Amino acid sequence: MSDHATGKIEGQVAIVTGGSRGIGRAIALAFAREGARVAVAAAHESGALRDVERELSSLPPQALAVVADVTRRAEIDRLVKKVVESWGRIDVLVNNAGILRPAPLESITEEQWDEMMAVHLKGTFNCTQAVLPIMKRQRRGKIINVAAPSALRGSFGVADYAAAKGGIIAFTRNAANELKSYNIQVNCISPVADTRMTEVLTAFRGQHLGGSPGQHGVVSPDAVAPVFVFFASSDSDYVTGQILELSRP
């Protein structure tokens, strides 16, 4: 992909799911500052979505905020259609939507397990598959998935979450292999950022493990965003199928 000098992703069109707050909001704002038109999507919190849309609109590129549940394919198809009708293309997809409901392994219900797989794994699949016809026609695209360190190392109270994120890692590597001939790069970032999810997890572990475990290695969402910009830009044209873990030493 060729970028203009004024921004690493100047003129490109990006979709960021889970964009109403936290990492998603930081990514969307970073993309806009680099010249991209950004569509942010979330299943709920339409008020928070509108707030992000207003923040984005204060920057030069255009912005869209769309309420869309990644587990419902019809809603994602409508999101993609709206973006294409508005801007004619899709260059970048960030599969960031996620949930976390910490629980000891024996306490995870079948309903919770299914919900976790649906939001993280099915959601990533739905959004990726929905943008592929556009990216294949363009013969270029960037897909950035979001995993978690627990998917590779294991952790306490997140067996369902970690399993779903592990599936995303496998999906990333397979999609990268299948789509490389179309000049579509698929990569995965595994951040530990200071969000509501990490706050909930820290409180849960303090309750079950005792003491004050803190948030070791946690960085701010704004510190994570530049790495997403790298994977969205032409700087990563020869990088695909990679899993990058981000945390403070």
Q: What is the mean pLDDT of the chain?
A: 87
* pTM reported for the whole predicted model: 0.88
What is the number of domains present in the chain? 1
Q: How many percent of the chain have pLDDT more than 70? A: 84
Could you tell me if residue 109 is inside a domain?
Answer: yes
pLDDT at 230: 97
Judged against a pLDDT cut of 50, whether residue 5 lies above it is answered with: no
> Distances in Å between the alpha carbon of 31 and those of 40, 192, 222?
11, 20, 12
For residue 90, being part of any structural domain is answered with: yes
Q: Flag the least confident range among 21-30, 75-84, 87-96, 229-238.
A: 21-30
| Rounded-to-integer distance, Cα 248 and Cα 237, Å | 26
Check residues 78 and 102 and name the one with the higher pLDDT. Answer: 78
Q: Is residue 5 part of a domain?
A: no
Q: Check pLDDT > 80 for residue 63.
A: yes
pLDDT digits (tens, 9 = 90+) for 184-217: 999 999 987 555 666 555 565 566 565 544 455 6
Please report which residue ranges of the chain form alpha helices under DSSP H. 22-33, 46-57, 73-87, 110-116, 123-138, 150-153, 159-179, 196-209, 221-232
Any domain includes 23:
yes
Quote the pLDDT of residue 194: 56
Please pick, among 31, 125, 161, 204, the residue that the annotation labels catalytic: 161
- Residues spanned by the domain of 28: 13-246
pLDDT reported for residue 200 = 58
Is residue 7 situated within a structural domain?
no
pLDDT at 121 over 80: yes
Place of tokens 């475990």: 213
Q: Give catalytic status of residue 161 as yes or no.
A: yes
Q: Which amino acid is at 45?
A: E
The domain that holds 205 is classified in CATH as: 3.40.50.720
Residue 233 resides in a domain: yes
Q: Is 6 contained in some domain?
A: no
Residue 1 lies in a domain: no
